[in-house]
A and B are shown apart, each in its own frame.
Chain A
Amino acid sequence: MRFLLVEDNTDLANSVSARLRLDGHAVDWAPDLRAADACLAGASYDLILLDITLPDGDGRDFLAKHRAMNRDTPVIVMTARNAVSDRVKLLDSGADDYVTKPFDFSELEARCRAVLRRRGGSARNVINFGGMEFDALAARITIGEKVRELRNRELRLLEILLSNPRSIYSKAQLCDRLFSYTEEPSENAIEVYVGRLRKKIEGCSARIETVRGVGYRITDA
């Protein structure tokens, strides 16, 4: 997916960009509203991540203008305010959703997916691998005629494995990305999800291999 990140704090912008790139997304960074306008004029984005407090104006004014111009790129606001009254106001101001700083990227991703899905999936990124068609937005895999729904963790697991096919992910790595950082899940839990995912992709040439003592990888051999 292609993100436009509007955030004036350089450190945060850099790390958010780096983090999103880790998941294979493209990110353009605009440090203020003027730069954001320039970016939007020159390219099209799947999603805008918008900070509220910016050096040359308020993100909410940008939102209002954005909506008035009928640009339909969805906007997720990154807010530092999470007071109850702000929650209500933010959504009224035209944001599609919001995350509160500091935010969890799994949650951000889930919200992005939900927003895009609500918007009718304008940014379909369907991955074809080993004879299966994986639609992350719709949480679906299609193998031949068969369509299978994926649950959220199965979806994320498949996304992780497919982001770098054939390379090995350790159980710990998968744990870190599938479960919240606070709970310490047993590594067996991963096995459960791998098992389920294996069942769902049966019938095509893609397979999830266990690399004994190291982890898992997806191959299409």
Chain B
Amino acid sequence: MDRGRFSSNSLGRRLLLQLLLVAAVLSALLYLAVRSVANQAAIAAHDNILGASATAIAEQLSASEGEVLIDIPYSAFSMLGAISEDRVFYRIDSDRTTITGYEDLPLPREVNARTAPQYYSSRFRDSDIRAVALERLITVDNLPVSVIIAVAQTRRGQDAITARVANTAAALGIGFFLVAGFMSWLATRSTVRPLHDVAGAIGRRGAHDLRDLKSPIPSELAPLVNSLNGFIARLRDALHRNETFMAEAAHHVRTPLATVRTQAEIALRQAETDESRKTLRSVIRAVDESSRSATQLLDHAMISYRSDQLARESFNYSELTADVIRGLIATAELKDLHIVSDIDTDLQYNGDKVLIECALHNMVDNAIKYSSDESRVDIRLNPVGGKIQFQVCDKGRGLGGSVQRDLTVRFKRGLNVSDVVGSGLGLTTVELVAQVHNGKFELVSRSGGGTCATLTL
């Protein structure tokens, strides 16, 4: 059953895979979102400081004697140094010529005094840098002069922050994926469980249990279970019709047979000649034979059918044995047989009750049939080494030289039993019952005359 739970075509597996896929996509999105938001925040913070630094320089600009004067304040760089060990570059251009700083520090394409400072990323001296540029107009000799101030800082510190943030985001994503995955698994299990419950409920059933499925099921499964129940009902109906048919067929065949037999008995009472007595006795015998064959054939067919799908239930062997004996005691009495039973009480074992009843019935029936008048039949039922042993011993005619192997063959009867009605199927059935229960059946002649039949299950 567990193999089916997540096998290639399993609903559970498909559902789990889909949920995991969704969880993976969500985790990736989460990772990307966290990283980019954190990055942007870091960049914005950095930009603010760069901007403040550039503004601090710009505030110290002045003009005198037709020249732009710059007095770079210490604080302009110390605030940048506070956030990391990164190198700082600057460049101040006046009228498109660099008056101080690195003249090759890249500038944005356009810097405009009317707009806010411009932030940009670039490369400088083999390092990635983040930079800000702003323009101020200084009045020199009554003429406005454009001064561009650029401040840049390498990004190693920022990269480190970015990497840390990325790690955290990745850990978050993976954690999310693991939690979501686990929850998907739980959800899948609980979603698929009703299906397994239904399957289990059917799987645990005995072979002959055709009741409707009643366990509570989710509404989505209702159509499935309903159609299953419909199917079971049809099966039950068919079986029932079949049984009714068999019963009626038996009724129609056996009732006239009963009439014939009764009439023959009445006629025999009034028979005058030996001739007619003989005839009537053979009529009765023929009726008994056909009836016996019908019974044994049907039983044998039923047992063969049932043996494919044993109903294994625990039941009281002692009671069953007592019932079997009670059913046959009247027959034994007719021959003045003395049945001595030694049955251990309350022997509870597993097995197919119908099959075992049939086996016991046949064994006792044989003992009675083949016993001599007024003799004794011993019936024992007791546990022997973890198994249960049923033994019937009679003091009858014995096996007459036949061996068990021959007598258990279908329709085979002993050579010394032509005067007794029988179909030769009884022991075949007993043997079959023993086989399907992994048991053993033994039939041996007793030394003092008679037969012992032993069934060990």
Write the residues of chain A forming the contact surface with B, with a CB cutoff of 8 angstroms: 9, 11-12, 15-16, 18-19, 22, 52-53, 78, 80-85, 87-88, 91, 97, 100-107, 110-111, 114, 151-153, 172-173, 176-177, 180-184
- Residues 337 to 371 of chain B near chain A (Cβ within 8 Å): 353-355, 357-358, 361
A91 cross-chain contacts in B, Cβ below 8 A: 323, 327
- Asked whether A102 and B285 contact (CB < 8 A) given A53-B248, A84-B358, A176-B269, the answer is no
Q: How many A-B residue pairs have CB under 8 A?
A: 133
A183 to B246, CA, bound (A): 32
Interface membership of B374, Cβ < 8 A: yes
- Asked whether A100 and B269 contact (CB < 8 A) given A81-B250, A107-B334, A181-B284, the answer is no
Provide 6 A-B residue pairs closer than 8 Å at the C-beta atoms, listed in order of the A residue. A53-B247, A100-B254, A101-B258, A103-B258, A103-B261, A176-B281
- B251 near A105 with CB under 8 A, answer no
- A83 near B299 with CB under 8 A, answer yes
Q: Is the interface of B mostly helix, strand, loop or mixed?
A: helix
Q: How far is the CB of B383 from chain A (nearest CB, A)?
A: 23
Which of B33-41, B182-190, B195-203, B287-295 faces chain A? B287-295
Q: How far is the CB of A159 from chain B (nearest CB, A)?
A: 13
- B250 near A102 with CB under 8 A, answer no
- A106 near B334 with CB under 8 A, answer yes
- B334 near A180 with CB under 8 A, answer yes
A114 to B328, CA, bound (A): 11
- Asked whether A182 and B262 contact (CB < 8 A) given A80-B250, A81-B247, A176-B268, the answer is no
Selected from B262, B373, B374, the residue in CB contact (under 8 A) with A16 is B262
A182 to B278, CA, bound (A): 11
Write the residues of chain B forming the contact surface with A, with a CB cutoff of 8 angstroms: 246-248, 250-251, 253-263, 265-266, 268-269, 274, 277, 281, 284-285, 287-288, 291, 295, 298-299, 302-303, 323, 327, 329-331, 333-336, 353-355, 357-358, 361, 373-374, 419-421
B254 cross-chain contacts in A, Cβ below 8 A: 80, 100-102
Q: Which 7 A-B pairs have the closest CB atoms?
A: A102-B258, A101-B258, A102-B261, A15-B262, A80-B254, A80-B251, A101-B254
- B269 near A84 with CB under 8 A, answer no
Q: In this complex, what residue of B is CB-closest to A90?
A: B327
Most chain-A CB neighbours within 10 Å: which of B259, B262, B266, B298?
B262
- B374 near A151 with CB under 8 A, answer yes
